[in-house]
A = this chain, B = another copy of it.
């Protein structure tokens, strides 16, 4: 039998291992670091650049994740509790300039916002600054009217009646128009729809300057390259994950009240939850334990302070856990 690792074999075979490409491709590790502060989910950006921090993947790194952990912790001194791979992108048309070619391997990391640590060129920004339409905690945001108008105009652009209907239906389903329910997990799909409808500044980058002003774009800060897409991917992933994995606690201080925990979940999910049900699930699943202390900074009756039961990470590192955010 042939040695599958050898580089010298028949050309008619599908290859099991690639020989090193003639032209090497660069690989970047991109970090989406999330913290929650006073009801605001924030991401670490490079100051005034609207860019996510990134570093190259190098031969010295043992693995992708360890490479990421290494440079993030060294540069920011943030304690990275939870880290997971998000997605790998390499779209030629999505990075603005057509000549470079980079593979972007993005990671999501959860941490606590810490003042005065790490480099000062970095900044924590609310993710709703980039995605104002994703915050439904106070009901549909005011700017939704603009979204709706822009998407309606885009639908009307379609040539056939069938595809016009199709666009309308997709917009309605994703954004919860016309009696459709708002599903907070569809962050990426909504962003991609707006991109397709050219309501997102990033989508207009390839245009010639003369053509740029024809369409009005929607509120929400753009980012460099396809970083806003990575952010959308991360928000979607996190909103899905908090429902069945106890990852919220990575974002909480050591002790907290149940309302604080609830506010954190609501900040991430972008929608409010039913208080009694939230408490019931948290307690019934024994995710937290009483510290015996109380917090009087609530403005009302003092609240018990709880602490995450670290033991659950061992008990159900695997099996699962539920947070009460209505499924659909």
Chain A residues engaging chain B, CB cutoff 8 angstroms: 1-6, 12-21, 23-28, 46, 48-49, 51-59, 61-64, 71, 74-75, 85, 87-93, 96-97, 100-103, 105, 119, 121-122, 166, 169-170, 173-174, 181, 183, 186, 189, 224-225, 314, 317-320, 327-328
Copies of chain A in the complex: 2
- Starting from the known contacts A15-B54, A21-B56, A64-B91, 11 additional A-B residue pairs (CB-CB under 8 Å) come to A1-B119, A4-B51, A5-B96, A15-B53, A16-B54, A23-B24, A57-B90, A59-B101, A63-B89, A166-B314, A319-B328
Assembled-state Cα–Cα distance A150/B304 (Å): 46
> Which one, B170, B224, B319, contacts A4 given CB within 8 A?
B224
Nearest Cβ on chain B to A231's Cβ, whole angstroms? 14
Chosen A-B contacts, 23 in total, with CB atoms closer than 8 Å, are A1-B74, A2-B49, A5-B58, A14-B121, A15-B55, A16-B224, A17-B28, A17-B224, A20-B26, A25-B26, A27-B90, A63-B91, A63-B92, A63-B93, A85-B88, A88-B105, A103-B103, A170-B317, A173-B317, A173-B318, A174-B318, A189-B318, A319-B328
Please, which residues of chain B bring their CB within 8 A of the CB of A100?
17, 20
